[in-house]
Amino acid sequence: TLVFTVVFGNIAGLPTDGMPKFLFYMGGNICWHYFANCLTVTSNTFITNRDVFGKVYFPRLCMPFATVLTELINFFVQYALFVVFVVWYATRPDPVIHPDWRLSALTPLMLLQLGVLGLGFGIIISALTTKYRDLAMLVTFGVHLWMYGTPVTYATSLIADKYPRLLGLYMVNPITPIIELFRAAYLGTKVYSYSYNLLSIGVTGLVFLLGVLLFSHTEKTFMDTV
């Protein structure tokens, strides 16, 4: 967060919708890193657990689900620190942020969606890497590239102001509406349209369903290819 504040906020001067740069980047980072960690770790499920999978049978989906749950520990540590800063900024004599505590009640749902989305993409990739090992090498690079297509280092208003025709396409990215809603809840930034959040939920469900189907198909024969 400090690096993002210095590089993107101070040097590059990217917009943060008038929010304190540190809080703006911290809010985006904790959401993104939870999703990214769920994706990258679960994408190696078959490779890292092949010895265990080859010795005894148990529902293979337990492993990626366990990853999503254990990553919650990191998230809650970061989230607790974030809330401390939010309260400090919000209770100053002339606050620059205006949290919407009604929206903040949706945090468990936002967190659930981030975990399910990361799980869905992760198990799709894990199923593919049993045949295409080189795909695993591209995951980390792809996740970092994806981050720059998501409002983690800049505000969505940058796209809305400079490329208004691309805003709808930009919001199709399922992570974008979640981060926007999270910032709206805790910082009071603008929510462009709640319909984008419904679209994001639909994409999340589709990705997760596709991932479970592909994972279930792959687990029957993966020991022949791993």
At 168-215, the pLDDT tens digits run 888 899 999 999 999 999 998 887 778 899 999 999 999 999 988 888
Q: From CA 32, how far away is CA 180, in angstroms rounded?
A: 12
Position with higher pLDDT, 106 vs 136: 106
Whole-number pLDDT of residue 179: 94
pLDDT at residue 53 greater than cutoff 70: no
